[in-house]
Amino acid sequence: MAQHDYINKKPKGKGKDKPEKSAKFPVIAAIFAFLLIGGFAYGLWFIKTNADPTEVEQAKNPHPVAEQKVSKPKPRPPEFIEEIKNHEIKVEVKEIESKGPYQMQCGSFRTHSQAEAMKAKVAFAGLIAEIRRTEGSNGVWYRVRLGPYDTKRLAESDKNKLQRVGIFGCGIWGWT
């Protein structure tokens, strides 16, 4: 295998194939900087020589603006503090009529064993349910019911307990 001189070898793309960098860039940058500085100096000279002397004097010595009277609220005498302490507030409280006891039904089944299974699920949630047998025009039904509840809020609370353990579809209505 032939020996190669890797130290003195020029990589491709450099050397004679690539044109040299232009020396014009520093000259152009210097001229541009000189023009910027000269333009700034001319602007300052122009402002100084063309300024209105009266406006310059007003800027140096501004006259105090006549103060306008601002009416401040007069402080109240300290007797209002005693008045506030001794003041009574009258509030009218309306009694909310209860729409009656509520009940919750969590299922209606054809067989007693299905109703017992639902009653057991409700019991695992910590609530007591009862099974009622009803006969209608379409046969016998076994309903799993909870209640009675004095307020709808109590019934909703138990319904949320049942939903947390996975029992959905319970309905709340007035006691019949």
Q: What is the mean pLDDT of each run of 10 residues along the chain (176 residues)?
A: 67 54 82 95 88 77 62 72 81 79 94 96 95 94 94 94 94 83
CA distance 145 to 103: 7
**Which pLDDT score, from 0 to 100, does residue 21 have?**
58
Q: What is the pTM of this model?
A: 0.46
Q: How many CB atoms lie within 10 A of CB 175?
A: 11
**Residue 104: closest CA among 35, 64, 157, 41:** 157
Burial 119-141 (b: 16+ CB within 10 A, else e): bebbeebebebeeeeeeeeeeeb
Q: Which two tokens stand for residue 31?
A: 């001229």
